[in-house]
Structure 1
Amino acid sequence: MSNKRIVIGLDHGNGWVKAKTDSNMVVLPSYIARKDSLGEGLTGGKLELNEFESSTHKGEVYVWGKDVVKAERPLSTYGSQNRYQQKYYKLLNQFALAKVLGNYTGDVVEALVITGIPSQEKGTELEKDLESTLRGSHLVKVDGKEIIIKVTKVVIVPQPVGTLMSQYLDNDGFVKEESYEEDAVAVIDVGTGTTDLDHIKELRRQTDDFDSIKIGMFDVYKKISDFVNRQNPSANATPQKVEEQFENGSYTVSKRSKIDITGIKEDVLETVAMDIKNSIIQRWRTWDRFDEIIITGGGATPLGQKLKELIGDATPIKEAQIANAEGFYKYGKFIEGASK
């Protein structure tokens, strides 16, 4: 058994899973696929995939990795009713813990997991559901090698708090930016499924001044996939496939067929950003009370730039996609240090 408790920052978003330890960082899509759904010969070296099997579902072998989006029928963990109790969500949590602890296969690892939930779910039964999926022992096979993870403690914070911790603390959990101990900070966390708002003043979350807006990058991808399918009904575009090609100027149906998405992409980003801003205004009628406005989350790069145009002095975080996982990890190191 590992002779110390490993701190894991886990951010299981609707689009991407991010997990961090002191020696590893995992950033992979929030989809898994059944091994037998990939087809003959497609699980070899050409695809970046690992095989996973959980003791909770013996005999069911799944693949997960960078190329899981290329599976014909990927299994999503996207937000839905009772999300934290859904089979694939719980399995992917286990796989993410096993993946980020890849150096410990064949071992028994004790872990402290820090993770986040949408702001409006803090203090609800959903928080208890999430904790129950993580706490306890998990036996997972990764490419045939077993690892046993004993999660002895779970700390759950509102999602945007992760980014603030990433700015406030260093990698060892010590304070690196004291100004946050006095400042009032607005955090706008733009994710795949939601945009979470939190007001944190002097490192205290203002529990009467937060919101979760049911708009995110998924809405952008969905509108573009609808556009592509109107142009070519045979394209069978999905939000997941659009996300994979989002940085391109065109959507590739095949080598013989491409659809220009430059214009629609700009229009959709503008529309969705304005929808988010209007929702923000309903929560925060004025921004003068904030010392800093931070834009973070997986959608912060494309949508964040649009929001910055609408909120001129907002600050998009560098490496925004992994900022919450980084912050969760640093907060975990802080907790471990404080307990000694």
Structure 2
Amino acid sequence: MDILFVTYLKKYLFRYLIGYIFLLFSFGSIIIKTRLKIERVALMIKAFAIDLGNGQVKARSDKRTLVAPSILATEKALGVGSLSDFETDHDYNVYESKLNIGKRYIWGTDIKEKVSHSDLIPTYTHHKRYDSVNYKLLFEFALAELASDCNRKHIEVVLVASLPSDEVRTEADDSLKTFLKGTHVVTRNGKEHVIEVIDVTINEQPLGTLLSENMNEKNQINKNVQTKTYTIFDFGAGTTIVDTYRALKRIPELSTVIRTGQNDIYKQIATSLKNQTNISDIHYSHIEDGFRREDHTARISDRVHPGFGHLINDPIEAFCEDIITKTNTVIANRDIIDGFYLTGGGANIVGDAFKEALQEHDATVEAEEPQLANLNGHYKLAVLKRDHLLALRKETAATKE
């Protein structure tokens, strides 16, 4: 009887042990599968920030930062030569979009060097820009360019975009958000990319500078900026935005968007240079490029490149005086402002002159990398929003398992 009992007990314990090991293995397998699933989810969702300015497109992902002119051209504008197939020294790509089926476009950092000025397609306008097909194409090409760094055909994106402040939470904002949210199918250099924008935030452009200058590496916001009042001067190509924020919230009555920007300075200099040199082919983009190269020449060709350094001061000083005059009508008492930031690509050109004209030296800070400050802040926000969405998805995936 005792022997039978012991034998039975051994069999029972053996079966129990086998069952226990099987449960442990199954549970471990579930944990591994869940973790792999969560990791796949994390890999599929990307954080993008895009700032489509009148002069430059600025875009950022975890892979790179992109800056290129806000200008397109059709592939036909490149022309065809006997050595075209051997040309590799260029920094543009060929795109196709369902927004304009059958048409191939080029876009990239050196598009101005590869295409005649008369064949360039600008997106610079103040009139219903966000309904323009060319503007939407440019946005899709920027999305595809960032997506091209991913090893997947189909990706999900959390996107933070920015507009001039007076257009946020307006019909223009709604129109752009409706266009951006959803699926974009774009072909880049013959390879199709499917970008599904699952979350869109549209912010005031200068808010990015506040975030960039006051968030640490862990994306924690400085306490001072959450309680104090700052005015930001954002010098763009087509506009100059004067925004005042208290506790990170824009104060409309202390803010304004001035429809004057760096392009106006370039155009004045171009006109003066034309009159002095009788060179009719001088375009304001030649002046812009001369500022970017810091050689202050309008490079028409290798032989013809007149200098315009002697024509700079007057337009810049007049511009600064105009902006401050218009600012004073909005901010009558500067004593209520804790500090001033200068940002935007134009800060590299007018920054020093503007500080002198503003006469608020101790309280004025020029943003680090002013051309990219807005973009960098919005990218930090995109990462925060992406991480929040990932956390929710991880919880859902873990619960289902």
- Matched residues in 1 for 2:308 and 2:343: separation? 25
- Matched residues in 2 for 1:332 and 1:172: separation? 13
Overall identity of the aligned pairs, in %? 29
Shift of 1:213: 0.4
Shift of 1:255: 3.4
Q: Name 1:289's counterpart in structure 2.
A: 336
Q: Name 1:51's counterpart in structure 2.
A: 94
Q: 1:60 pairs with 103, 111, 117, which one? A: 103
- Matched residues in 2 for 1:49 and 1:272: separation? 34
Structure 1 gaps, min length 5: none
User: What secondary structure does 2:300 align onto?
Assistant: strand
Shift of 1:101: 2.0
User: What secondary structure does 1:18 align onto?
Assistant: strand
- Matched residues in 2 for 1:133 and 1:92: separation? 13
Shift of 1:37: 0.6
| CA-to-aligned-CA distance 1:80-136 (integer Å, 9 cap, x gap) | 311001011000000001112221265101011111111111221011111123111
Q: Name 1:241's counterpart in structure 2.
A: 286
**Matched letter for residue 367 of structure 2:** I
- Matched residues in 1 for 2:256 and 2:140: separation? 29
Q: Name 2:24's counterpart in structure 1.
A: none
User: What secondary structure does 2:172 align onto?
Assistant: helix
User: CA, structure 1 residues 50+172, in 2 after alignment: closer, same or farther (shift >3 Å)?
Assistant: farther
Q: Name 1:300's counterpart in structure 2.
A: 347
| CA-to-aligned-CA distance 1:244-274 (integer Å, 9 cap, x gap) | 1222233233333332311211221111111
User: What secondary structure does 2:219 align onto?
Assistant: coil
- Matched residues in 2 for 1:62 and 1:171: separation? 38
Structure 2 gaps, min length 5: 1-39, 392-401
| CA-to-aligned-CA distance 1:210-259 (integer Å, 9 cap, x gap) | 11001110111111111222233444111222211222233233333332
**Matched letter for residue 113 of structure 1:** L
User: What secondary structure does 1:91 align onto?
Assistant: helix
Q: Which has the larger radius of gyration?
A: 2
Q: Name 1:336's counterpart in structure 2.
A: 386
User: CA, structure 1 residues 26+172, in 2 after alignment: closer, same or farther (shift >3 Å)?
Assistant: farther
User: CA, structure 1 residues 204+258, in 2 after alignment: closer, same or farther (shift >3 Å)?
Assistant: closer
Q: How does 1:1-340 map to 2 (within 5 A)?
A: 3-41=43-81, 44-70=87-113, 71-72=115-116, 73-104=119-150, 106-170=152-216, 172-175=218-221, 177-246=222-291, 247-311=294-358, 312-313=360-361, 314-339=364-389, 340=391
More strand by share: 1
User: CA, structure 1 residues 224+107, in 2 after alignment: closer, same or farther (shift >3 Å)?
Assistant: same
| CA-to-aligned-CA distance 1:21-69 (integer Å, 9 cap, x gap) | 1222111111111111122246832221111111222221111111111
More helix by share: 2
- Matched residues in 1 for 2:261 and 2:371: separation? 13
RMSD: 1.9
TM-score (norm 2): 0.80
User: What secondary structure does 2:110 align onto?
Assistant: helix
- Matched residues in 2 for 1:11 and 1:142: separation? 20
User: What secondary structure does 1:283 align onto?
Assistant: coil
User: What secondary structure does 1:293 align onto?
Assistant: strand
User: CA, structure 1 residues 26+255, in 2 after alignment: closer, same or farther (shift >3 Å)?
Assistant: closer
**Matched letter for residue 266 of structure 1:** N
User: What secondary structure does 1:53 align onto?
Assistant: strand
Q: Which segment is superposed worse, 204-213 or 319-328?
A: 204-213
**Matched letter for residue 65 of structure 2:** M
User: What secondary structure does 1:187 align onto?
Assistant: strand
The answer to whether the 8 A contact 1:30-1:78 is kept is yes
User: CA, structure 1 residues 264+206, in 2 after alignment: closer, same or farther (shift >3 Å)?
Assistant: same
